[in-house]
Amino acid sequence: MTDEYPLFIPPAPLDTKTPCDFSTEEAESYFRWVLENQEARLSQFLERFDESLSAPAEDLLRRIGEKVAETLKKPAFAQNTGPEPQLTSRGYALAADMGLLLAALFMRECGSSIQWTILREPKTDVSFNCPVLKGFGKLHLDPIYLSVTQSFGVLRGTRGGDAWLRVFKRWKKDAGEAKAASKKR
C-alpha cells in the first residue's frame, strides 16, 4: 500500500482561507465542493482499504478505523516535529475522508432526519461556515472536524482505532432520540 493519498484542498481562492474567513458565497462554494467531491473521495478511500460502503456501518467502522489508525502513524500522514504530533496534508486528507464516511453512514442509517447544511451561527463556533450535519437535536455535527480531532487522539495515544465507531454509536443514538422527540411534537 502506497503512502500517496489525494489531498483535501478546495479550489482557489478557498484554499488560502480558513472557513471562518469565508464570505457567504465562499462558504456556499466550499459546501458545494465538499458535497460534489464526497462520492469520489469515499470511493478512493474505501478502495484503498479494500472496504465497501455496503457493509454494515458498525462492522465497517470497526475494521476501517483500525486501518486508518495504523496508517495515520506513518510518516507520510503524521510527523512529530514539536511537542504534539501533527497531521501532514495527507494525514488531514485521510482524516477528512474518514469524516465523509461518517457522514455517509449517518445519512444511510438515520435517513432523511440527517441533512447537510452550512453552519451560519454562532460565528465563534469552530465549524462556522463549514458543512455540518443537522438532525441530532439542538446539536450539529461537523464530521470532518470530528474525524480530524479523533485522528489527533490516535496520534497522541489517547484514542484507538475504535474512536470513529464510538463516535458513530453516540451520535446515532442522539439522532434517534431527536427523531423520536420531533415525532412527539
Answer yes or no: is 162 within a domain: yes
**Closest alpha carbon to 158 in 105, 52, 84:** 84
According to the model, what pLDDT value does residue 137 have? 86
In a domain, 8, yes or no: no
Which pLDDT tens digit goes with each residue over 101-129? 999 999 999 988 899 999 999 999 999 99
Q: Which pLDDT belongs to residue 185?
A: 61
pLDDT band at 87 (very low <50, low <70, confident <90, very high): very high
List the one residue out of 79, 51, 84, 81 whose CA is nearest residue 153. 84
Boundaries of domain holding 174: 14-184
Q: What is the mean pLDDT of residues 137-163?
A: 95
Integer Cα distance of 82 and 113 in angstroms = 42
**For the chain, how many structural domains are there in total?**
1
Instruction: Please report whether residue 2 resides in a domain.
Output: no
Predicted pLDDT at 111 = 87
| Residue 4 in domain | no
174 belongs to a structural domain = yes
pLDDT digits (tens, 9 = 90+) for 59-68: 999 999 999 9
pLDDT value of residue 114? 94
In a domain, 159, yes or no: yes
Residue 7 lies in a domain: no
- pTM, two decimals, is 0.94
Instruction: Specify the pLDDT at position 86.
Output: 93
Cell numbers representing residue 164 in the block: 470513529
pLDDT band for 33, please (50, 70, 90 cuts). Answer: very high
Inside any domain, residue 37: yes
- Share the mean pLDDT of the chain: 93
